């Protein structure tokens, strides 16, 4: 917004700032901005209640799981510790596949991010890091192919030595710094640990530590960049001849292994060699000695006697014999006793007996208590050592892992993929979790949606962030969930290395990140979110609930309410009468707007991301900017303010101005149609400063955003003479199988109906003309059983208000003035035979992604829901909570999937094979009366030269086919698919070596899968495409294709809009008259070009004008600062300068800096006493702009 001010106004206003509160009772002008003051009284800060319920408990933990190697590289000097990734001459090996090599992340990189506040901003209160101890030095083979890859233990699951840090991660001192720094920031450290198995034998370690039998020529097999495979690698290892050689490794008393002289692994979970790994004999009571290779290693490092002495001392003091279990326990608890580690995440927990876990837990509880007693200044609180475990497929139930194994928590697999958190299931999930978890103080789970072992849940990251972070119990973010970190499409999918890409610091989705930060912080601030009792709340949109928590022993109480999955930018009314009395001020912590409880209800706007987080005030100022979130032309908005006398307001970065509670001002004057207008409000009181940003959308001409779902505008506005009478849902009447509207009126009514945010049910406006029935009502069936909304109208401009949140059958009487009454409602009853229920016979629990219509998800966004429930017949069962025709994709969660299985109805039985081929056994019936189905064959992709799509973002897909055959591409986003059903559409257009496809969408990010028309040749999901993606394969599949993404190229027309808008928002007084006038002179010409639209504006004219504007902007110069009179002996220098600029004052070579006030421009600095003859130089900077300096001699 360009606020053109009269010359000298800023100086005059400076003198009036002290009288700001007097302005509230009279209209005033601020540089052409008309502010209309309110006559309401501003509430004093002292009337605001301070609440603080962020007391830590593991029951409300917000855990952030990162792979140390993939997170952040803070010290490149340790990237090749132990010669990892180097050849015999110390040169870096350029592996064909680097997906399982060390990438450089380390302790220092994590510490740096802690200090930057990255985790604090996310509301994270615990960090789960990779096992920090020393891993096997060499690599093993990653897969069975003739061309495989080097697999190093970058993830920390192949231990070599528990007693030292892995030098790729850093030193012991750096680990200590990491833990101490985390504690200073209120963050606990959870170590990933393995007690089940050691690391594999590698060629490199065998040579380094002298165990096993290596053949001549092993160097040629090991030090290579390609041709890495099992045959070559294991061909230089003699696995059969010498039990003596292999006894120099761990030894037969320590591990089970298929090596000479060792015991072979058993068939039970506790005795098996998981994935061929050496299995520690933790159940054995036999006395062991230090393994030979460790003795050699420690001797070489000069610490053998020290390590043996410490081990013996611990065992002796605890009356423990030297068994495998007790040695591992000592080594692991040492990390707790030495560094103050707060908890363990125990890998492969079901493969170790309960007694060993209980021994470890008891030892670590003692160790942490000991560390806290010796380091009281570092201890965060008196919380006991915490232990969670990975038990594959474990859900929300209490068992022997808690009662016998000593676990405080077990990882909850049921939320993987976020299917249980989908909008139509989340309320039940929350209730079930809270009822189970938070009614038992000795029971909790750690829920997650993405994992290093199975899937990256991307889909709708905004909704998933809300639903997941507000889950009862503890939650675990997998690094990059909050930033839409993509798959590593260059890494092999077997071994799940593609799930472990480097943290996307340079390509973070800032919108997703900001959302997760807000919801995560809310969770961390409120113990009730994870640890409280859950209750559903009534709302007119979204899913609303409350959480309440009381701990009388610790004198902690907390309560919150929230509503998620709301229609964007919609006023949402929530019944909070069970929580707060009328008159209570409440805050939406998502945007810091405030409201008052009235008649037991409170109303907040859902904002762009459909999330409302309700809490009591914390004492800091509360502000909202109220106005139509979607507007044409300009919009008058109102500031509401509580807890502060005034606020500083800026529109789109323009000059800040003072406003008070109830003041109105106009926005949109400098914005073009389609732009987002942002209003920033900053208010301060004794509790602190709160800054909030409110967004408004200026509509394109004659475009109604689907997310807003405004009521169609009639030719004549009609105000109903009375409010509709409330009518409860009743059970009497006919059985309603689908939604049906009955209307009694003295005219033939039309019904405009929709569900969700915008899905029409009876055609576009004005809808469908109704048919009269014998009982006098007009009737229209809507063909759905979902909740719906209607507007009744006469087809020619007269209409009711929106009649919302209807279900089943609704009888409405509409009067001639368009007021109405709801006579009755009958909730729909779904016959069992009509319910959409999926039954799948499979060897392992599959994932189901289900949808109806073109894109409406039924089991959560991709990858959907893991089917964990089995019926008596052995089928996995999933109720889709729908009665409409539907479609599914079944998959294993990590790249292997069926084609789209479409046109299903009611109950469907599918037999799923391990290769993802399938047979639809039956469909279209209940479990007692299914209809046999014709065997379904996967569809052949149909060719397509054009992909339909409209929107303001352009996406280009370029695929190079090594075979020459035309590839098939499947493209989708959170809302819909852009191609034919999976496997998609055949690409036919070519540009040189590439098959190409271009489409437009309003989505900011798309995803794709490429193949040769079948699942055996398909790529993994290629996600986070924002502009152009180039895909290149080698060979006959796309399984290991190379993917390059580039950001969208912004057109010069869009750049001209942005540049011109920035010029309009400049503050004239900040710049020299000459340079400001030079840049502003282009605005009129730019407005005329922009008004033509991108398709009609002459491109050459746009390009030329953009170049001129950029040159003029680059030449802008800040006005010289003004310096007040300086006298000899003064210790302060003051003056005025550009609003908010940085002022630099140099006195005889010594420099001082300060910031000019952003309202008045006044600045001052304290300096050493000025003497006659001193030279004083003053200059200022603002963003990239500089002023000429002014030099004075005293």
pLDDT at 286: 98
Name the least confident of 128-137, 775-784, 1132-1141. Answer: 775-784
Please say if the pLDDT value at position 936 is more than 80. no
Cβ 1052 vs Cβ 1106: under 8 Å: yes
Please say if the pLDDT value at position 31 is more than 80. no
Matching residue, tokens 């057109």: 1051
CB contact set of 358 (below 8 Å; sequence gap of 6+): 404, 405, 406
pLDDT at 828: 59
- Cα end-to-end distance, the chain, whole Å: 41
- Taking only the tens place, the pLDDT of each residue in 285-307 is 999 999 999 999 999 999 999 99
Strand partners, 986: 943, 968
Please say if the pLDDT value at position 34 is more than 80. no
Q: How far apart are CA 671 and CA 837, in angstroms?
A: 50
861 or 811, higher pLDDT: 811
- For residues 175-204, b (16+ Cβ closer than 10 Å) or e, as one string? bebbbbbbbebbbbbbbbbbbbbbbbbbbb
Name the least confident of 64-73, 983-992, 1047-1056, 1097-1106. Answer: 1047-1056
Write the Ramachandran bin of 1148: left for phi over 0, alpha for psi from -120 to 50, otherwise beta: left
pLDDT at 851: 82
Please say if the pLDDT value at position 1147 is more than 60. yes
- The mean pLDDT value of the chain amounts to 87
Burial class (CB in 10 A: 0-12, 13-18, 19+), 156: buried
Please say if the pLDDT value at position 706 is more than 90. no
Question: Three-state SS string across 735-748, please?
Answer: CCCCCEEEEECCCC
Give the residue from 346, 297, 291, 350 showing the smallest Cα distance to 324.
291
CB contact set of 611 (below 8 Å; sequence gap of 6+): 462, 466, 515, 518, 519, 562, 563, 564, 566, 590
Please say if the pLDDT value at position 534 is more than 80. yes
Matching residue, tokens 């001409």: 701
pLDDT at 2: 33
Would you please indicate which residues are annotated as catalytic (active-site) residues? 347, 390
Which structure tokens are listed for 323? 């068994």
pLDDT band at 1148 (very low <50, low <70, confident <90, very high): confident
Cβ 333 vs Cβ 363: under 8 Å: yes
CATH node for 942-1046:
2.60.40
Length of the chain: 1194
> At the topology level of CATH, where does 729-826 sit?
Immunoglobulin-like (2.60.40)
Q: What dihedral angle (degrees, nearest 10) is formed by the CA atoms of 714, 715, 721, 725?
A: -20
pLDDT at 655: 95
pLDDT at 1022: 82
Q: Is 679 helix (H, G, I), strand (E, B) or coil?
A: strand
Mean pLDDT value across residues 398-411? 98
pLDDT at 977: 79
- For residues 379-393, b (16+ Cβ closer than 10 Å) or e, as one string? bbeeeebbbbbbbee
- Taking only the tens place, the pLDDT of each residue in 486-520 is 989 888 767 899 999 999 999 999 999 999 999 99
pLDDT at 149: 95
Q: How far apart are CA 1117 and CA 1078, in angstroms?
A: 11
Q: How far apart are CA 888 and CA 903, in angstroms?
A: 9
Q: How far apart are CA 207 and CA 138, in angstroms?
A: 10
Q: Is 501 helix (H, G, I), strand (E, B) or coil?
A: coil
> Where do the CATH 2.60.40.10 domains begin and end in the chain?
31-44+541-698, 729-826, 1122-1193
Write the Ramachandran bin of 438: left for phi over 0, alpha for psi from -120 to 50, otherwise beta: alpha
Question: Which stretches of 552-629 are assigned E, i.e. beta strand?
Answer: 556-564, 571-575, 585-588, 593-596, 601-605, 612-615, 622-626
Matching residue, tokens 């005059």: 12
Cβ 188 vs Cβ 344: under 8 Å: no
CATH node for 1122-1193:
2.60.40.10
Q: How far apart are CA 915 and CA 307, in angstroms?
A: 50
1002 or 568, higher pLDDT: 568
How crowded is the C-beta side of 355, counted as CA atoms within 13 Å? 9
Give the residue from 340, 413, 32 showing the smallest Cα distance to 183.
340
How crowded is the C-beta side of 386, counted as CA atoms within 13 Å? 31
Which helix (H) or strand (E) is 665 found in, with range? strand 664-667
Mean pLDDT value across residues 1068-1076? 96
Residue 273: alpha-carbon gap to chain centroid: 36
- Taking only the tens place, the pLDDT of each residue in 879-888 is 887 788 888 9
- Taking only the tens place, the pLDDT of each residue in 519-528 is 999 999 999 9
| DSSP annotation of 780 | E
Please say if the pLDDT value at position 695 is more than 80. yes
Q: How far apart are CA 810 and CA 917, in angstroms?
A: 45
Cβ 94 vs Cβ 225: under 8 Å: yes
pLDDT at 27: 29
903 or 172, higher pLDDT: 172
CB contact set of 555 (below 8 Å; sequence gap of 6+): none
Cβ 940 vs Cβ 929: under 8 Å: no
Name the least confident of 282-286, 531-535, 542-546, 1032-1036. Answer: 1032-1036
Matching residue, tokens 């909740």: 787
Please say if the pLDDT value at position 891 is more than 50. yes
Q: How far apart are CA 792 and CA 923, in angstroms?
A: 38
CATH node for 31-44+541-698:
2.60.40.10
Q: How far apart are CA 1022 and CA 1045, in angstroms?
A: 10
- Taking only the tens place, the pLDDT of each residue in 810-824 is 999 998 778 888 988
Q: What dihedral angle (degrees, nearest 10) is formed by the CA atoms of 979, 981, 982, 986?
A: -50
In words, the CATH class of domain 832-925 is mainly beta
Cβ 258 vs Cβ 265: under 8 Å: yes
Please say if the pLDDT value at position 597 is more than 60. yes
Q: Is 691 helix (H, G, I), strand (E, B) or coil?
A: strand
Name the least confident of 116-120, 433-437, 817-821. Answer: 817-821
Which structure tokens are listed for 397? 């139930």
Mean pLDDT value across residues 426-440? 95
């Amino acid at each position: 917004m360009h606020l053109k001010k009269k010359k000298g106004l800023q100086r005059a206003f400076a003198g009036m700032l002290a009288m700001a509160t007097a302005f509230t009772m009279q209209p005033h002008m601020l540089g052409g901005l008309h502010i209309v003051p309110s006559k309401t009284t501003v509430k004093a800060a002292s009337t605001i209640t301070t609440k603080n319920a962020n007391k830590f408990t593991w029951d409300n933990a917000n855990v952030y799981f990162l792979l140390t190697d993939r997170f952040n590289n803070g010290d490149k000097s340790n990237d090749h510790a132990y010669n990892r990734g180097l050849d015999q001459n110390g040169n870096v090996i350029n592996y064909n596949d680097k997906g399982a090599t060390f990438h450089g992340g380390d302790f220092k990189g994590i510490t740096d991010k802690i200090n930057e506040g990255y985790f604090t901003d996310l509301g994270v209160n615990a960090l789960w890091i990779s096992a920090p101890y020393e891993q096997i030095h060499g690599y093993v083979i990653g897969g069975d192919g003739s061309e495989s890859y080097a697999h190093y233990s970058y993830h920390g699951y192949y231990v070599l030595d528990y007693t030292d840090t892995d030098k790729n991660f850093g030193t012991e001192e750096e680990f200590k710094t990491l833990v101490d720094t985390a504690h200073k920031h209120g963050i606990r450290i959870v170590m990933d640990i393995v007690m089940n198995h050691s690391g594999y034998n590698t060629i490199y370690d065998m040579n380094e530590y002298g165990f096993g039998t290596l053949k001549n020529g092993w160097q040629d097999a090991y030090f290579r960049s390609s041709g890495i495979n099992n045959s070559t690698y294991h061909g230089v290892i003699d696995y059969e001849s010498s039990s003596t050689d292999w006894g120099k490794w761990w030894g037969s008393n320590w591990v089970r292994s298929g090596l000479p002289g060792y015991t072979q692994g058993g068939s039970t979970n506790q005795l098996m060699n998981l994935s061929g790994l050496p299995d520690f004999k933790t159940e054995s009571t036999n006395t062991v000695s230090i393994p030979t290779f460790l003795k050699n290693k420690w001797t070489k490092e000069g610490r053998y006697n020290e390590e043996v002495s410490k081990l013996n001392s611990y065992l002796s003091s605890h009356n423990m014999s030297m068994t495998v279990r007790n040695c591992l326990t000592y080594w692991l608890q040492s990390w707790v006793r030495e560094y103050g580690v707060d908890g363990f995440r125990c890998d492969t927990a079901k493969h170790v007996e309960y007694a060993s876990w209980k021994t470890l837990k008891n030892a670590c509880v003692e160790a942490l208590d000991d560390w806290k007693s010796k380091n009281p200044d570092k201890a965060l609180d008196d919380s006991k050592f915490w232990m969670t475990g990975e038990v594959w497929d474990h859900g929300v139930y209490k068992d022997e892992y808690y009662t016998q194994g000593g676990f405080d928590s077990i990882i909850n697999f049921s939320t993987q993929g976020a299917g249980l958190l989908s909008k139509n299931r989340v309320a039940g999930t929350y209730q079930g979790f809270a009822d189970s978890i938070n009614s038992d103080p000795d029971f909790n789970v750690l829920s997650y949606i993405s994992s290093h072992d199975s899937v990256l849940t991307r889909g709708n990251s905004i909704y998933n962030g809300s639903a997941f972070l507000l889950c009862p119990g503890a939650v675990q973010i997998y690094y990059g969930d909050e930033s839409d970190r993509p798959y590593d499409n260059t890494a092999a999918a077997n071994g799940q290395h593609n799930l472990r890409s480097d943290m996307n610091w340079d390509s973070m989705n800032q919108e997703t990140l900001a959302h997760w930060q807000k919801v995560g912080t809310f969770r961390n601030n409120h113990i009730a979110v994870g640890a409280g009792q859950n209750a559903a709340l009534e709302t007119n949109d979204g899913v609303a609930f409350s959480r309440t928590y009381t701990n009388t022993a610790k004198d902690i109480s907390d309560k919150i309410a929230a509503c998620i999955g709301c229609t964007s930018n919609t006023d949402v009314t929530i019944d909070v009468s069970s929580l707060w009395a009328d008159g209570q001020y409440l805050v939406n912590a998502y945007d810091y707007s405030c409201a008052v409880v009235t008649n037991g209800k409170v109303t907040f706007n859902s904002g762009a991301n459909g999330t409302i987080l309700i809490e009591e005030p914390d004492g800091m100022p509360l502000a909202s900017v109220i106005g139509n979130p979607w507007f044409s032309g300009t919009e008058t908005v109102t500031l509401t303010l509580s807890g502060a006398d005034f606020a500083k307001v800026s529109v789109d970065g323009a000059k800040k101005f003072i406003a008070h509670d109830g003041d109105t001002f106009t926005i949109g004057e400098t914005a073009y149609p389609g732009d987002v207008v942002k209003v920033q409000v900053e208010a301060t009181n004794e509790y602190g400063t709160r800054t909030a940003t409110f967004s408004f959308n200026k509509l394109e001409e004659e475009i109604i955003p689907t997310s807003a779902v405004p009521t169609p505008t009639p030719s004549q506005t009609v105000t109903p003479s009375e409010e509709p009478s409330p009518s409860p849902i009743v059970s009497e009447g006919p059985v309603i199988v689908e939604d049906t509207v009955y209307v009694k009126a003295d005219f033939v009514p039309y019904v405009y109906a929709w569900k969700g945010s915008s899905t029409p049910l009876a055609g576009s406006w004005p809808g469908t003309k109704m048919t009269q029935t014998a009982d006098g009502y007009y009737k229209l069936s809507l063909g759905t059983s979902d909740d719906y909304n209607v507007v009744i109208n006469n087809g020619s401009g007269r209409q009711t208000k929106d009649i919302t949140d209807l279900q089943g059958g609704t009888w409405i009487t509409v009067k001639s003035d368009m007021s109405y009454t709801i006579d009755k409602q009958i909730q729909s009853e779904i016959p069992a035979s009509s319910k959409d229920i999926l039954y799948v016979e499979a060897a392992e629990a599959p994932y189901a992604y289900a949808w109806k219509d073109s894109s409406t998800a039924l089991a959560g966004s991709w990858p959907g829901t893991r089917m964990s429930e089995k019926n008596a017949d052995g089928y996995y069962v999933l109720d889709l909570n729908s009665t409409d025709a539907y479609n599914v994709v079944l998959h294993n969660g990590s790249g292997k999937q069926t084609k789209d299985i479409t046109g299903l109805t009611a109950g469907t039985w599918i037999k799923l094979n391990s290769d993802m081929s399938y047979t639809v056994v039956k469909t279209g019936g209940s479990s007692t009366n299914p209809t046999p189905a014709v065997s379904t064959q996967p569809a052949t992709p149909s060719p397509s030269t054009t992909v339909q799509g409209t929107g303001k973002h352009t996406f280009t897909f370029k695929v190079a086919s090594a075979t020459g055959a035309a590839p098939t591409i499947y493209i989708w986003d959170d809302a819909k698919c852009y191609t034919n059903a999976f496997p998609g559409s055949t690409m036919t257009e070519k540009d040189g070596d590439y098959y190409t496809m271009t489409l437009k969408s309003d989505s900011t990010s798309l995803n794709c899968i490429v193949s040769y028309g079948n699942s055996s040749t398909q790529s993994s999901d290629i996600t986070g495409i924002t502009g152009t993606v180039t895909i290149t394969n080698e060979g006959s599949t796309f399984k290991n294709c190379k993917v390059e993404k580039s950001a969208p190229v912004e057109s010069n027309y869009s750049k001209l809009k942005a540049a011109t808008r920035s010029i309009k928002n400049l503050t004239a007084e900040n710049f020299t008259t000459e340079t400001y006038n030079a840049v502003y002179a282009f605005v009129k010409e730019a407005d005329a070009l922009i008004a033509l639209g991108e398709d009609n504006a002459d491109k050459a004219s746009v390009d030329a004008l953009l170049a001129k504007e950029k040159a003029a902007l680059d030449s802008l110069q800040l006005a010289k600062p003004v310096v007040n009179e300086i006298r000899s002996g003064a210790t302060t220098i003051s003056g005025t300068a550009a609003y908010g600029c940085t002022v630099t004052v140099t006195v005889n070579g010594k420099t001082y800096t300060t910031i000019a006030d952003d309202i008045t421009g006044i600045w001052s600095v304290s300096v050493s006493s000025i003497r006659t003859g001193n030279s004083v130089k003053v200059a200022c900077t603002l963003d990239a702009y500089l002023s000429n300096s002014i030099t004075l001699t005293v």
